[in-house]
Amino acid sequence: MASRRFRDSRRSLYRRQPSLDPRPRILVVCEGIVTEPQYFEAFKREEGNRLVDVMIDNQGGVPKTLVERAALLKKLAEREALREHDDNLKYDEVWCVFDVDQHPKLADARQQARDNGIKLAVSNPCFELWLLIHFTDQTAHIERKRAATALKKYIREYDKHVPFEILRSGYMDAVRRAQLIESRCIEEGGNPSTGVYLLTERIREFGRRERTYL
């Protein structure tokens, strides 16, 4: 069933022509069904990177099941590339995007990601932290509701939908702030922290490389 849904979703995605020099391609699998996919779709357009596929895990579940789904999609793409004799159909990088919240078995999810070559963009407590640091510093511990409330100071009508044009000018500040709070974390994925910038910077890098082919 998962295989059929994957094939169907691929029909509407940008398809590269076979070449001797495959272009880098990224798959982003999101836990959230609104904020995260909207943000990454807008971000890839901003960076001119057509080779980013954003998929929503609408089956729900915990980070471990999200990683399992991403690993399956990665393998399906590899099989299709082998069947079609086209390495362009494989993903160079596969990322899972999820929040820490109260999810169980985070350590298991991280280990499974490492075992399957899946990269993680994890936010603690939530993705709204990444949006918030486009506007202001946030180095103290913060809860999900507080992060959403603080974000509304800068995006008045925020209700999970992302007005990317408001975020655009603060992007490099967000990267700097994310790196700063990461450097202060005592443990991996402590609160606050967000690894979203690791993914967005890869999208930017691959976008620059993609433009050299045009």
Q: Which two tokens stand for residue 57?
A: 């895990």
Angle between helices 196-211 and 171-184 (to 10 degrees): 140
- Quick check: bond before 125 cis, omega within 30? yes
Predicted local confidence at residue 143, as pLDDT: 95
Would residue 5 count as lying in a domain? no
Instruction: List Cα–Cα distances, 62 to 2, 28, 65, 68, 122, in angstroms.
Output: 17, 16, 6, 10, 13
Lowest pLDDT segment from 52-56, 57-61, 85-89, 160-164: 57-61
pLDDT (average), residues 75-89: 96
Query: Does residue 1 or residue 82 have the better pLDDT?
Result: 82
Would residue 144 count as lying in a domain? yes
> By residue range, what is the domain housing residue 172?
24-211
Do residues 51 and 25 make contact, with C-beta atoms less than 8 angstroms apart?
A: yes
pLDDT of 153 over the 70 cut: yes
Predicted local confidence at residue 16, as pLDDT: 47
Would residue 17 count as lying in a domain? no
Predicted local confidence at residue 21, as pLDDT: 61
Q: For the chain, how many structural domains are there in total?
A: 1
Residue 46: band (very low, low, confident or very high) from pLDDT cuts 50, 70, 90: very high
Name the nearest CA neighbour of 32 among 141, 167, 144, 166. Answer: 144
Residue 13: band (very low, low, confident or very high) from pLDDT cuts 50, 70, 90: very low
